[in-house]
Amino acid sequence: MKTKKVACPHCKNEITVHGSPGETIEITCPKCNTKGIFAFPEEKPTSRSTTGPVTIEVNNLEFAYPKSKKKAVNDVSFNIRNGEIFGFLGPNGAGKTTTQKIMIGLLKQYNGYVGLLGKNLKEWKTEIYNRIGVGFELPNHYQKLTALENLELFASFYRGKTTPPIDLLKMVELEKDANERVATFSKGMKSKLNFARSLINDPEVLFLDEPTTG
């Protein structure tokens, strides 16, 4: 809903008009009863930024699983620039998860080019995992550990500075359940914990697979 103030063409009285983009509203001046119409302009969609460094570069990406005659990913190309939020939309089996697994280094035998943080993905070693975060669709939490213990464990895997686990639990509104075993958590709570875990190393690039599940 938008609000605009217009002046009556007859008596110059200021009139407040409420409406939505593209909507035409009939108005009557409360002072002199002059009638008229006001058209709210259509809003143009915000275009993607064309400036800033490219964080992820994918060119002519192709991948087929062993023994499969069909390509799971077929000639996919795109760029993602610093600060952008980029999403894959498509039906089941379209190759969304496969493409993401390639970008995070889990699937190696692909054709085409993948660049990550200014470097060919094939040139990165394990140090790349200190700079990216990953939230898997089906995360493996340690069920017998508490939420806090899970995050502390994963924080110990990183060489650099990590975000305090309790701060992440507060961010996802799980601080009251910090000392509860994950086995008692609902699916939604586990999804929140999974998201918190993906941010433990304060990543430069964050990959999320089915982030709204749960």
Both 214 and 150 in one domain: the answer is: yes
CATH number at residue 173: 3.40.50.300
Both 31 and 53 in one domain: the answer is: no
The residue among 76, 109, 124 that closes a domain is 124
- Supply the DSSP string of the chain, one letter for each residue: -EEEEEE-TTT--EEEEEE-TT-EEEEE-TTT--EEEEEPPPPPPPPPP--S-EEEEEEEEEE--TT-SS-SEEEEEEEEETT--------TTSSHHHHHHHHTTS----EEEEEETTEEGGG--GGGGGTEEEE-SS----TTSBHHHHHHHHHTT-SS----HHHHHHHTT-GGGTTSBGGG--HHHHHHHHHHHHTTT--SEEEESSTT--
Counting residues of the chain whose pLDDT is more than 90, the rounded percentage is: 63
141 lies in which domain range?
129-214
Both 185 and 209 in one domain: the answer is: yes
Give tens-digit pLDDT for 192-206. 999 999 999 999 999
Give tens-digit pLDDT for 151-205. 999 999 998 889 999 999 999 999 999 999 999 999 999 999 999 999 999 999 9
The residue among 124, 154, 169 that closes a domain is 124
The residue among 101, 124, 147 that closes a domain is 124
Both 88 and 27 in one domain: the answer is: no
pTM as predicted = 0.70
Both 62 and 104 in one domain: the answer is: yes
State the total domains in the chain: 3
